[in-house]
Amino acid sequence: MVLEVRKPRPLWEILFSTHHTDIGLLYIIFSLTLFFLGGALAISIRTELFLPGAQVFEDANTFNRVFTVHGTTMLFLWVIPFAAGIGNYLIPIMVRYKDMAWPKLNAVAFWMIPVGAALVWLGFADTTWNAYPPYSILRAPGPAAEMWIFGLKILGISSILGAINFVVTILKMKHPDLPMMKLPLFTWSILSTSLIILMSMPTFAAALIMLYTDRLGVSGFFNPAMGGDPLAYQHLFWFTFHPEVYVFVIPAIGMIYEIIPKFSRKPIFSYTSGITAFILLTIVSFASWAHHMFATGMSFTEKTVFMIGTLAAVPASAMHIFNWIATMWGGRIRFKAPIAFVVGGIITFFLAGAGGVVNSAMPLDFLTHDSYWVVGHMHLFLMGIITFAFVGFIYYLFPLITGRMYNERAAMIQFWLMFIGVFLVFVTQHLLGLYGMPRRVVDYVPVEPLIIMNQISTVGAYMLLVGMGIFLFNLIKSAGWGKPANMEDPFGIREKYYDYRRREPHH
């Protein structure tokens, strides 16, 4: 449904709608809002670290709360809802069905997210986004930690409901004339993602309940004083959240598969290898969770098993990169903003992946674990490929959503700011990690290399801030006053665009 900013439909009509485009729109707007809020927290963190000593935050407590909420927001309120939003928009169109399989469930799944978000933001817990016990059960101040637990609980249920809806829509509601092997790769990516969520999320849901009863003191699952094992929580947590990494990245990969062939004006190099790689990633994502715990005193055998499991995920990711480059090879690429962001994303994907392989080598954990290396590595994924692909895809869908074109020049300025910014911030953080700077610290040892690298990192963060400012301005301005788009072929690439005639939001 076209979003009209200047002559909007009544708000209630959008809010109470169960049509997939309206829900998709709500998802996208909500996640973008939380992205900017989380970004504001990130800027405050980087400003604090510009110099050693206290800059922004009076005490470490506030800082700890800020990075906790920043992490939780970016992962659960930006990346996951945004992918779900794009899925809502496109999956019914791609499988040629009138809506999602269960429209009301879809609306329920969305409306749980603001509730979870409110709990997380009003509580402002300081447990870090992974809430390791015993800190989170013994020392973390309540009610913030309880609110965090319930917020995450609600967000988890929401993503399970959304995943069920996607799986059923794709497998059961797809047009009978449309075989699975002709579905766009984006559909396959959402299918893989949803299956991973369905398999992994219940574990974390259980862990959260255990965390809560431990906090109440009625159980001692993770409390060593009561015979529990704190490491059990880490296993449960990472059993959900290592696969969840692929939940973050696979939709981004699917979006890249949408954009690259269109702008290169060439079919995908190998459709089957794309599907194969998705399926491989879905399976292998469950084989590597404990590589987050190499430093907890695991045995040599355990470490070896999980190192192999981690390395096993690499060929599938490498197949995607190969597929993208081979698709572009020999094409006529029109570098509009969407593909510019996608190419930037591929480059950072490679860097982050290479860093990840180095991470997985067991002995190097002594250097990198819980240091800024890890921060840089995982942000290179989340801010690099995932956010880049998402931003590129927002631009790609912009005509479909608003019926107008965004400002190309502003988008390209934003791209260059973000591309350079990402390198300054996160590659520098890898080096900081090698110099031994621990993560989650409000202050650091005032030695010259740390100060200089932190300052480079902060400067990069401000470039990202400017880029994001341009992005926000571009979105709002173009949605209201942009040039009306040619809906058949908004980018002038003579490739098929999505069906924009879905204008019946009422059941």
Partner 1 sequence: MVSYSALVLILVLIAVLTLLGVNSAAFAQETTERYLSARIEIWALFYRLMVVAFVIGAVVMGTMTYVIWRFRESHPKNRGDITPAAGGGAHH
Partner 2 sequence: MGHGTLEWVYVGVVVAVLIYIGADAWNVETFLDHAPEDAQVVKVTAQQWFWTFEHEDGRRELGELHLVKDIPYRFEVTSLDVIHSFNTPDFAMMIDAVPGRINSIWYVPDQAGEFLIQCREYCGFSHYQMRAKLFVEEPAGGGEQEAQVTNASATNNLIPPLGAAAVAS
Binding mask 57-96 for partner 2 (x = CB under 8 A): --xxx--x--------------------------------
Residue 206 CB, nearest distance to partner 2 (Å)?
A: 21
Which CB sits closer to partner 2, 286 or 350?
Answer: 350
Q: Which residues of 10-45 are buried (b: 16+ CB within 10 A; e: fewer)?
A: eeeebeebbbbbbbbbbbbbbbbebbebbbebbbbb
Q: What three-state secondary structure class fits 350?
A: helix
Answer whether 497's CB lies under 8 Å from 489's CB.
Answer: yes
Could you tell me which of 128, 232, 241 has the C-alpha nearest to residue 223? 232
**With binding defined as CB under 8 A, does residue 283 bind partner 2?**
no
Residue 298 CB, nearest distance to partner 2 (Å)?
A: 9
Answer whether 170's CB lies under 8 Å from 260's CB.
Answer: no
- Contacts (Cβ under 8 Å, ≥6 apart) of 113: 27, 30, 77, 81, 154, 155, 158
**With binding defined as CB under 8 A, does residue 276 bind partner 2?**
yes
Which CB sits closer to partner 1, 210 or 275?
Answer: 275
Residue 446 interacting partner from partner 2, partner 1, none (CB closer than 5 to 8 Å by kind): partner 2
Residue 9 interacting partner from partner 1, partner 2, none (CB closer than 5 to 8 Å by kind): none
Residue 351 CB, nearest distance to partner 2 (Å)?
A: 16
Residue 46 CB, nearest distance to partner 2 (Å)?
A: 16
Residue 353 CB, nearest distance to partner 2 (Å)?
A: 11
Residue 490 interacting partner from partner 2, partner 1, none (CB closer than 5 to 8 Å by kind): none
Largest CA distance in the chain: 67
Q: What three-state secondary structure class fits 479?
A: helix
| Integer Cα distance of 202 and 242 in angstroms | 14
Residues 209-248 that bind partner 2 (CB under 8 A): 224-225, 229-231
Residue 227 CB, nearest distance to partner 2 (Å)?
A: 9
| Integer Cα distance of 332 and 272 in angstroms | 23
Residues found near partner 1 in the complex (CB under 8 A) = 181-182, 264-272, 321, 325-335, 343, 346-347, 350-351, 354-355, 357-358, 361, 363-364, 366-367
Q: Read out DSSP for 223-290?
A: -GGGT--HHHHHHHHHHHHHHHHHHHHHHHHHHHHHHHHHHHTS--S-HHHHHHHHHHHHHHGGG-GG
Residue 330 interacting partner from partner 1, partner 2, none (CB closer than 5 to 8 Å by kind): partner 1
Number of C-alpha atoms within 13 angstroms, CB side, residue 306?
Answer: 22
Which CB sits closer to partner 1, 111 or 350?
Answer: 350
Applying CB under 8 A, which of residues 146, 302, 408, 443 lies at the interface with partner 2? 443
Query: Which span (146-154, 156-164, 304-312, 338-346) binds partner 2, by CB under 8 A?
Result: 304-312
Which CB sits closer to partner 1, 364 or 465?
Answer: 364
Which CB sits closer to partner 2, 88 or 368?
Answer: 368
3: left (phi over 0), alpha (psi -120 to 50) or beta: beta
Answer whether 215's CB lies under 8 Å from 142's CB.
Answer: yes
**With binding defined as CB under 8 A, does residue 273 bind partner 2?**
yes
Could you tell me which of 95, 112, 90 has the C-alpha nearest to residue 24? 90
Which residue matches tokens 């060593």?
224
**With binding defined as CB under 8 A, does residue 307 bind partner 2?**
yes
Please report, as ranges, the residues that interact with partner 2 according to CB under 8 A: 59-61, 64, 126, 128, 132, 134-135, 138-140, 224-225, 229-231, 269-270, 272-273, 276, 295-297, 300, 303-304, 307-308, 311, 314-315, 318-319, 322, 326, 357, 360-367, 369-371, 434-436, 438-450
